[in-house]
Amino acid sequence: MIKKFFMMIFLPTLTLNAVTFEQKIGQMLMIGFYGTSAPKESQICKDIRQHHIGSVILFDYNTIDKRRPKNIVDKKQVLRLTRQLQACSSNGKLLIAVDQEGGRVQRLKSKYGFYGKFPKASDVAKMNRNQIKSIYEKMSAELKSVGINYDLAPVVDLDINMKNHVIHGLGRSFGEDPQKVAEYASIFIDAMHQNGILTSLKHFPGHGSSVGDTHKGFVDVTKLWREVELEPYRLLKAKADSVMVAHVFNKSLDAKYPASLSYKTITGLLRWKLGYEGVVITDDLQMGAIGKRYRWRDTLQLAINAGNDILLIGNQLNPKSIQSTKNVVQTIKYLVKTGKIKTKNIDMAYARIQRLKAKL
């Protein structure tokens, strides 16, 4: 019993200390890349091996060459790609993510040979529990069949603004009742877990009240946001694998920074006030709401110090702003060396990410 207790107390510390600092930084990165395969000589494979990238994200739409796919061609190709990517990692626990919600937001489309007809959340909310369970179990089985282990879903934004184009307009919300939203999101999470797929609640602290689109630029929700938007996160905090933070700005929560770069919002509100202890992931840091207002170095500094664990760099939205993994790692190392990022933030993020990966 004493030996078991000793191992429980000290083993995580020993494991943490045995890992290099650069490995910890690499684990914090979710990188988007161009390519439908990942042989050993490919840049993404080299980055996973050399910089210890913890996660990648797959897209179908190629912003550089619209005539060619970015990562997704068909089922056989995606399975081959994910196997190659895992072979590049040191332990086969690379997180391979997609946005697969249903409706307009599903990367595995029917034109690539996938089912591709999963309903949007607003339609799912009209179904009974058994129907919902069946739909999301089918979705999780399809993800598993091609080696994807991380779904950046479900959306738990409340449908409280009929002028909202990115949530209400696309039917991405389960509704305006936080209890119902949490119930349907819970079914989604359970279905994903049946096939070993991790999930992410989004978009904290709530994107349902917004009018603008953070993909394009600054979105201020100060006069629109309601505290009830936090309720799904409170109800699901013990179940959530991860929480994705939005780029929305709310002066009532932080008068200076948008949620994704805000210590007050992520550490103060999500972690301390709501009691969430799991992984926090940013929305894509290259979205207009961030890229048009902050220098890249400042974005990384603020995001890590705010309490984010995984930094999502999709290399998807603007072909002119592609970020190399090497540059990102070197920038973070520089910020730590100069005292602008606290070492403990890297250590805590690494520990949380490893706990997440232990679920796989």
In DSSP notation, 247-286 reads --B-TTT-SSS-GGG-HIIIIIIIIIIT---SEEEESPTT
Is 315:284 a contact under the CB 8 Å cutoff? no
Q: Could you tell me if residue 182 is left (phi over 0), alpha (psi between -120 and 50 degrees) or otherwise beta?
A: alpha
pLDDT, the chain, mean: 93
* Residue 229 banded pLDDT, cuts 50, 70, 90: very high
Mean pLDDT of the region 263-269: 98
The residue range of the domain holding 102 is: 28-357
Q: How many CB atoms lie within 10 A of CB 220?
A: 16
According to the model, what pLDDT value does residue 128 have?
Answer: 97
Residue 6 within a domain: no
Report residue 114 as tokens.
Answer: 């996938």
Report the candidate in 5, 11, 115 with the shortest Cα–Cα distance to residue 354: 11
* Residue 217 banded pLDDT, cuts 50, 70, 90: confident
Is 144:197 a contact under the CB 8 Å cutoff? yes
According to the model, what pLDDT value does residue 211 have?
Answer: 87
Question: HSE on the CB side for 85, CA within 13 Å?
Answer: 30
According to the model, what pLDDT value does residue 17 have?
Answer: 53
Backbone angles phi, psi at 86, to 5 degrees: -65, -35
- Rg for the chain, CA atoms, rounded: 19
CATH classification at residue 87: 3.20.20.300
Could you say which DSSP state residue 144 is in? H
According to the model, what pLDDT value does residue 216 have?
Answer: 74
The total number of residues written for the chain in this structure: 360
Helix (H, G, I), strand (E, B) or coil at 310: strand
Residue 23 within a domain: no
* Residue 178 banded pLDDT, cuts 50, 70, 90: very high
Least-confidence region, from 16-20, 115-119, 290-294: 16-20
Given strand 279-282, what is the order of strands in its sheet?
201-204, 242-245, 279-282
Please classify residue 340 by burial: count the beta carbons closer than 10 Å to its beta carbon, then call 0-12 exposed, 13-18 middle and 19+ buried.
middle
* Residue 219 banded pLDDT, cuts 50, 70, 90: confident
Mean pLDDT of the region 247-259: 97
Helix (H, G, I), strand (E, B) or coil at 236: helix
Residue 41 within a domain: yes
| 41 contact partners, CB below 8 Å, separation of at least 6 | none
Residue 14 within a domain: no
Q: Is the peptide bond before 232 cis (omega within 30 degrees of 0)?
A: no
Q: Letter for the amino acid at 165?
A: H
Mean pLDDT of the region 325-337: 97
| 194 contact partners, CB below 8 Å, separation of at least 6 | 137, 140
Residues tagged active-site: 215, 283
Residue 343 within a domain: yes
Residue 45 within a domain: yes
Strand partners of residue 98: 151
| Separation CA 340–CA 335 (nearest Å) | 5
| Separation CA 267–CA 274 (nearest Å) | 10
Report residue 248 as tokens.
Answer: 């929305």
Residue 16 within a domain: no
Number of structural domains found in the chain: 1
Would the CA dihedral through 190, 192, 196, 202 be positive or negative?
A: negative
Alpha helix ranges (H) inside 146-261: 178-194, 231-236
Unique residue bearing structure tokens 């939005």:
246
Mean pLDDT of the region 17-38: 94
According to the model, what pLDDT value does residue 154 have?
Answer: 98
Residue 137 within a domain: yes
| Separation CA 30–CA 312 (nearest Å) | 5
Give pTM, 2 decimals: 0.94
